[in-house]
Amino acid sequence: MLRYALLRLLGAIPTLLLVIVLAFLMVHAAPGGPFDDARSPHPEVLAAIEATYHLDEPVVQQLGRYLGGLLRGDLGPSFRYPDYSVSELIGIGFPASLKLGVLAMSLAILVGVSAGTFAALRQGSMTDRVVMSFSMTGISIPVFVVAPVLVLLFAVKLHWLPAGWSGSAGVAKYIVPVVTLALPQIAYIARLTRASMIEVLSRDFIRTARAQGLGTRAIIRIHALKPAMLPVLSYMGPAIAAILTGSVVVEQVFGIPGLGASFVNGALNRDYTLVLGIVIFYAALIIALNLVVDLLYGVIDPQVRQR
């Protein structure tokens, strides 16, 4: 297992390098520079600024300098925020995004798996149909519609929850963004669980278990849940990606100082180093998470382990 993990990690290095080089070239190819502003500074000042950030060098040389910095773990200074380095900005933004993502993911798994199992057991019933049509709605309505509606209802009309993040205290500010972010995932996971649970429940070993007199609850818990979770587990990779990208919108709408918001603003401001830093960070994170999911797969399904 350890050998496998190490090999996978080594294999990730060329992928990451490719991501870095491509991202670097694409960011630099975008028209407009970080210091183009409606009011431009004196040419002499602009030259001084560009020299400070080595923007006056050929792109290849800049790339070399950047890669050299990366080897030392240095993501460079932010072009937009001269007081902060990119690593610092990621350090500030990531915890907010992480909390949001972990909470949304946990909520999605808890509610999604329960609802899916519940519906599978009552396949074809009214409850099943209600749960499934709710989940269809959850998948179809985009985040940027759900978010303002929830804010209007719970913050503006009912005053139960804060309308935004910054300057609000306590736990309450998490609720609307987390629900908004989790909703499509709840829906998707519920559907996956239902389908897979129905399939598992029709298998021979379940029939055997029933014949031995086990109750439904015990069958689900001991025999059915684990195999039924496999498709959900393989969905975790895409789900994490969806939550990361979904958080870009949610962070913008609620004004949450996370990485998603930084990424969008960085791209608009042509903050080359910040955008690159976040791309590299996310790429590394996704590679690592994929590895973790693959290893988990081995834990849950012995067939995979023996491969």
Contact predicate 274/79, CB 8 Å = yes
User: Does the protein bind another protein through residue 216 (CB under 8 A)?
Assistant: no
Q: Closer CB to another protein, residue 52 or residue 133? A: 52
Q: Closer CB to another protein, residue 83 or residue 126? A: 83
Residues 150-209 that bind another protein (CB under 8 A): 151-152, 155-156, 159, 162-171, 174
User: Does the protein bind another protein through residue 44 (CB under 8 A)?
Assistant: yes
Q: Closer CB to another protein, residue 81 or residue 128? A: 81
Q: Closer CB to another protein, residue 87 or residue 252? A: 252
Q: Closer CB to another protein, residue 19 or residue 233? A: 233
Residues 87-126 that bind another protein (CB under 8 A): 89, 92-93, 98-99, 102-103, 105-107, 109-110
The one among 11, 37, 133, 303 contacting another protein by CB under 8 A: 37
Residue 155 Cβ, how far from another protein at the closest point, in Å?
4
User: Does the protein bind another protein through residue 299 (CB under 8 A)?
Assistant: yes
Residue 283's Cα: distance from chain center in Å? 11
Residue 129 Cβ, how far from another protein at the closest point, in Å?
27
Residues 224-283 that bind another protein (CB under 8 A): 225-226, 229, 252-258, 261-262, 265, 268-270
